[in-house]
């Protein structure tokens, strides 16, 4: 069997930074070639970043991507790398598609190309276009209609892009019909909790369907609310894992594969799903066998446990958002509570404590222990800390305007929001909103108060998970002989907004374990009221909870973006009208 040394570059890219992304491709190709790679691959749309959203509809951006691809091919050859085939994802447009009603103008395509010998040797577009969750690819792209096959060192390699593996049919059975020796899929599949298990099962299943070794190359890093966790996988034709890359880590997986030699007269024409085989021969001669050097196995990273995985996603998401948007520091209002404490811990891990600024803003209702907990958090983490009481501002407002009840309570929150934004303007910090998914779901927040900020790191994390992640982070620190960052009292005390004497969250909300269980069914599972009651929950409680969720949509629309970790995050995943008289609660 011919030996193929495959290099999978699990890297990050930035949307719109075509020049910077091209430089990354050059740098990582040079690294892979230095390890003797015969075929080098990069993730989906690595040249433009992913997802490009409405940039795909700008002809200037499409043409910039196409020009950069050609330039990259020439630069690889100039650097002495022209003999190594390089698979690169980019944004293209169809040269043959006629404009049709319902198709995006200009016929953009989510495409990939094989660069070799200073030119584009082969290009193809994604066949299956996802249109669910965060994906709107029918809005942006037209599909490809070929099965691309490139012959490298005597091995026929079939190529696919992300959803081509996630959906049944198409390029997977077509790869079997073409009798490919390797199926290589380049991907930018966003992270979701527990997706690593689903991905592993999927790749193994597709390898068996394709009848050949299958390599799944994934992107890592972050883009706006999306996080990409890497976890690239290579399995043999039976689904046995040959190599697996670490999660949330940039790197190059290089491994040797013994693969079937390409047939002298391979299949041609149209195969499964109407795909036409588009085969390009780059090198017929097999690579030298075992005597040429040591076998490279690529490594086998164990997946992270559930809490470490979610926490890592939150760290990577925040780091990417801050860095890619040109900020160097963040600002957090520290109340002494669990939400701001977890956000501060995430920020310190993402950016380093010296780039994190915390401010305590006590009012007349702030307890002494809350002030102490905020100060203790700052001491443990080493973040920059100050105290600015809001009492004088509160007195000035109430002296000019008589407020009572909820209006008086919310004024305190809004004063804190104004103070945070003023410091942001003055000092250039990016403000982080500490709200969690439970609060966002039921509207338990104050517009222009605790909801202010440019990014919400725990926006997609239910309150019960906030506690669990805080406990995990402290355990992880203790296991490493470090000081746990989050004060124990912030974890154990009853949650409270402290806007009136003796206030606790359960004055207004059900206990969080019950609330989160109902929300998971309604928000994430799209279950109706009757189904939730049938699952064992009190009807009056379900009715009240669902009513709170339904009437809080206008607040959620005004909340900042935040890291997505679930299959149904608020925003792109869950889109409901603000003006809406339909009520599941009757």
Catalytic residues: 44, 126, 162
Helices and strands counted in the chain (H then E)? 18, 19
User: If DSSP codes are grouped into helix, strand and coil, which group holds residue 312?
Assistant: helix
Q: How far is CA 107 from the centre of its chain?
A: 26
Q: What is the C-alpha separation between 403 and 537, in angstroms, rounded?
A: 38
Token pair, residue 543, equals 């009715």
Using DSSP's 3-state secondary structure scheme, residue 75 falls into: helix
CB 248 within 8 A of CB 350: no
User: What is the spatial distance between Cα 113 and Cα 391, in angstroms, rounded to a whole number?
Assistant: 62
Beta-sheet pairing, 155-161 with 182-186: parallel
For 339, phi then psi, to 5°, come to -65, -50
H helix or E strand, kind and range, residue 137 = helix 137-140
Q: Which of 318, 515, 534 is nearest to 433 (CA)?
A: 318
Q: Pick from 196, 464, 461: which is nearest to 305 by CA?
A: 196
Q: Which residues contact 216 (CB under 8 A, 6 or more apart)?
A: 165, 185, 187, 199, 203, 232, 233, 234
Which token pair is 577?
Answer: 């009208």
Cα–chain-centroid distance for residue 416? 30
Structure tokens at 36: 């003797």
Strands of the sheet containing 384-387, edge to edge, are: 384-387, 356-360, 330-333, 430-431
Query: Over the Cα atoms of the chain, what is R_g?
Result: 26
Tokens of 251: 């790197």
Pairing of strands 220-223, 226-229: antiparallel
Give strand pairing partners of 440: none
**Token pair for residue 155?**
């091995």
Could you give the angle at which helices 512-519 and 539-551 cross, rounded to 10 degrees? 70
Could you list the beta-strand ranges (E) of 187-258: 213-217, 220-223, 226-229, 233-235, 241-244, 251-258
Long-range Cβ pairs for the range 534-539 (8 Å, 24+): none
DSSP assignment string, 52-66: -GGGGG-HHHHHHHH
Give the span between the Cα atoms of 322 and 517, in whole angstroms.
32
């Amino acid at each position: 069997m011919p030996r193929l040394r495959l290099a999978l570059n699990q890297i990050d890219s930035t949307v719109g930074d075509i020049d910077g992304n091209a430089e990354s491709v050059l740098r990582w190709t040079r690294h892979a070639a230095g390890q003797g790679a015969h075929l080098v691959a990069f993730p989906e749309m690595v040249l433009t970043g992913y997802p490009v959203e409405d940039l795909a509809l700008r002809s200037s951006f499409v043409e910039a991507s196409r020009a950069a691809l050609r330039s990259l091919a020439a630069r690889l050859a100039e650097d002495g790398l022209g003999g190594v085939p390089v698979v690169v994802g980019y944004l293209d447009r169809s040269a043959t598609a006629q404009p049709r009603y319902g198709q995006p103008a200009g016929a953009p395509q989510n495409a990939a190309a094989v660069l070799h010998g200073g030119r584009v040797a082969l290009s193809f577009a994604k066949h299956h276009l996802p249109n669910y969750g965060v994906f709107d690819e029918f809005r942006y792209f037209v599909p490809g209609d070929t099965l691309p096959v490139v012959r490298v060192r005597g091995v026929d390699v079939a190529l696919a892009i992300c959803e081509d593996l996630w959906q049944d049919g198409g390029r997977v059975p077509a790869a079997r019909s073409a009798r490919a020796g390797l199926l290589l899929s380049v991907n930018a599949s966003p992270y979701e909790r527990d997706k690593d298990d689903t991905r592993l099962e999927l790749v193994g299943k597709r390898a068996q369907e394709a009848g050949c070794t299958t390599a799944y190359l994934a992107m890592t890093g972050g883009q706006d609310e999306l996080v990409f966790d890497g976890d690239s996988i290579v399995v043999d034709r039976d689904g046995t894992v040959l190599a697996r890359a670490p999660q949330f880590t940039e790197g190059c997986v290089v491994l040797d594969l013994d693969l079937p030699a390409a047939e002298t007269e391979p299949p041609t024409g149209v195969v499964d799903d109407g795909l036409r085989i588009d085969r390009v021969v780059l090198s017929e001669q097999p690579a030298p066998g075992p005597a040429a050097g040591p076998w490279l196995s690529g490594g086998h990273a164990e997946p992270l446990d559930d809490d470490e995985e979610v926490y890592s996603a939150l760290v990577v998401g925040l780091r990417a958002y801050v860095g890619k948007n040109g900020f160097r520091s963040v600002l957090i209002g520290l109340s002494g509570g669990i939400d701001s404490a977890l956000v501060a811990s995430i920020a310190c891990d993402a950016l380093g404590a010296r780039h994190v600024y915390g401010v305590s803003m006590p009012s007349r209702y702030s307890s002494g222990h809350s002030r102490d907990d905020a100060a203790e958090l700052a001491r443990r983490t080493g973040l920059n800390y100050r105290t600015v009481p809001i009492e004088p501002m509160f007195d000035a407002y109430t002296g000019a305007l008589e407020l009572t009840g909820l209006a008086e309570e919310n004024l305190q929150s809004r004063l804190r929001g104004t103070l945070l934004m003023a410091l942001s303007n003055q000092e250039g910090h990016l403000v982080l909103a500490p709200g969690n998914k439970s609060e966002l779901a039921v509207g338990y927040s104050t517009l222009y108060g605790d909801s202010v900020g440019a990014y919400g790191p725990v926006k997609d994390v239910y309150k019960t998970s906030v506690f669990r992640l805080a406990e995990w982070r402290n355990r992880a620190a203790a296991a490493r002989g470090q000081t746990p960052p989050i004060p124990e009292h912030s974890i154990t005390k009853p949650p409270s907004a402290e806007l009136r004497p003796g206030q606790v969250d359960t004055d207004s909300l059900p206990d969080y374990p019950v609330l989160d269980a109902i929300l998971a069914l309604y928000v994430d599972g799209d279950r109706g009221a009757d189904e939730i009651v049938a699952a064992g929950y009190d009807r009056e409680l379900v009715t009240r909870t669902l009513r709170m969720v339904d009437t809080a949509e206008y607040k959620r629309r005004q909340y900042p973006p935040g890291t997505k970790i679930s299959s149904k995050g608020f925003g792109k995943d869950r889109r409901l009208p603000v003006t809406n008289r339909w009520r599941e609660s009757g």
